[in-house]
Amino acid sequence: MSLAQEEARVREANQRFYQAVENLSLDDLEAVWLPSPACRCVHPGWPPVEGWEAIRESWSRIFESTNDLEIVLDQVTVHIEGAVAWLNCLARVSSAAESRIDTALLCSSNLFILHDGEWRLVLHHASQLPDPMDSPQTDLIQ
Amino acid sequence: MSLAQEEARVREANQRFYQAVENLSLDDLEAVWLPSPACRCVHPGWPPVEGWEAIRESWSRIFESTNDLEIVLDQVTVHIEGAVAWLNCLARVSSAAESRIDTALLCSSNLFILHDGEWRLVLHHASQLPDPMDSPQTDLIQ
């Protein structure tokens, strides 16, 4: 497989990750993350969460307090070195909860390792950036 | 070389990185970062900086506005897969500028690749966490 093909596979794995988050689906997340105690996840502003079990629980808490999520990725870059790939991207996240829409611009570093022929997520570090679109909160109920 | 020895070398490279920052030394930073256009650096709250030249310039700007820095690392974990190592840590940063001391608790993901037998930094993603010590700003001049 060429490097370009392998990079495309990493981008697909990354898409599946964000699609799983958009779908608020723990099962879909579980198919992307490597279920390992070595995994680490840094949600924006949270202390690091270590190990797949704790990471799964953290997403469960996020999903419980979210009704709807839309994520648009930008500036995706991929590097591969052997069986390790790291992907950086911006993610514009719109979330709806309790009649309000919030938007946030996140910067993410995602690290995948090739495990049984599949690129599996082992590190997700997301942090919030000042949003150049400076979107105000939008009240759905006027 | 055993895995434990290799992990120790990654920790040493990481120490050199933070020592270079404490020393406000661009030359020392240059000895740790891989001088590659593929490097990426996410300073807390900044948009991503890409490529060593731009990353060097970003540190130069930080160093210019800083008089003194002290960094204490905690919860350092290292994983190695082939020629790639990723290290996560917390960094408590105390900085002095203009008669004030500010402290911040940062969470960092640092990615190193083995290049000519040396572990070189290719990705640094740092983001601020709420500080459980809740340190107030300290005025040096009362």
Cβ atoms < 10 Å from Cβ of B63? 16
Whether B107 maps to a domain, the answer reads yes
In a 13 Å sphere around the CA of B74, the CA atoms on its Cβ side amount to 10
The string of pLDDT tens digits covering residues A65-92 is: 888 999 999 999 999 999 999 999 999 9
User: How many degrees, rounded to 5, is the angle at CA A54 between CA A52 and CA A58?
Assistant: 110
Whether residue A115 lies within 8 A of chain B, CB to CB, comes out as no
C-alpha B80/C-alpha B83 separation (Å) is 7
**Mean pLDDT value across chain A:** 92
Which chain A residue's Cα is nearest to B75?
A48
Whether B141 maps to a domain, the answer reads no
Q: Which residues contact A24 (CB under 8 A, 6 or more apart)?
A: A63, A66, A69
| Shortest distance, CA B91 to any CA of chain A (angstroms) | 12
Structure-token pair, residue B132: 């459980």
pLDDT band at A134 (very low <50, low <70, confident <90, very high): low
DSSP A53-120: HHHHHHHHHHHHT-SEEEEEEEEEEEEEETTEEEEEEEEEEEEEETTEEEEEEEEEEEEEEEETTEEE
Domain of residue A51, CATH code: 3.10.450.50
Whether B68 maps to a domain, the answer reads yes
Q: Point out the residue among A82, A109, A122 whose CB comes nearest to the CB of B123.
A: A109
Predicted confidence at residue B1, as pLDDT, reads 81
Q: Is B127's pLDDT higher than 80?
A: yes
Predicted confidence at residue A138, as pLDDT, reads 46
What would the mean pLDDT of B9-14 be, rounded to a whole number? 98
Whether residue A111 lies within 8 A of chain B, CB to CB, comes out as yes
Whether B109 maps to a domain, the answer reads yes
Test mutation, B77, B105, B107, B115, chain A, max A CBs within 10 A: B107
Whether B140 maps to a domain, the answer reads no
Question: How many domains, in total, are found in chain B?
Answer: 1
Whether residue A117 lies within 8 A of chain B, CB to CB, comes out as no
- Which amino acid, residue A30? E
Q: Is A9's pLDDT higher than 60?
A: yes
DSSP element (H, E) containing B45: none
Q: Is A17's pLDDT higher than 80?
A: yes
Whether B142 maps to a domain, the answer reads no
- Domain range spanning residue B8? 3-131
The residue count for chain B: 142
Closest by Cα among B70, B69, B72 to B91: B72
Whether residue B50 lies within 8 A of chain A, CB to CB, comes out as yes
pTM of the full structure: 0.90
Whether A109 maps to a domain, the answer reads yes
What would the mean pLDDT of B75-89 be, rounded to a whole number? 97
Whether residue A123 lies within 8 A of chain B, CB to CB, comes out as yes
pLDDT band at B28 (very low <50, low <70, confident <90, very high): very high
Whether residue B123 lies within 8 A of chain A, CB to CB, comes out as yes
The string of pLDDT tens digits covering residues B108-125 is: 999 999 999 999 999 999
Whether A128 maps to a domain, the answer reads no
- In chain A, residues with a C-beta closer than 8 Å to the C-beta of B90 are 48
pLDDT band at A136 (very low <50, low <70, confident <90, very high): low
Predicted confidence at residue A97, as pLDDT, reads 73
CB within 8 Å: B128 and A45: yes
Terminal-to-terminal C-alpha distance of chain A: 54
Predicted confidence at residue A142, as pLDDT, reads 37
Predicted confidence at residue B138, as pLDDT, reads 46
- In chain B, residues with a C-beta closer than 8 Å to the C-beta of A86 are 111, 123
C-alpha A83/C-alpha A117 separation (Å) is 10
CB within 8 Å: B45 and A111: no
- In chain A, residues with a C-beta closer than 8 Å to the C-beta of B113 are 81
Predicted confidence at residue B59, as pLDDT, reads 98
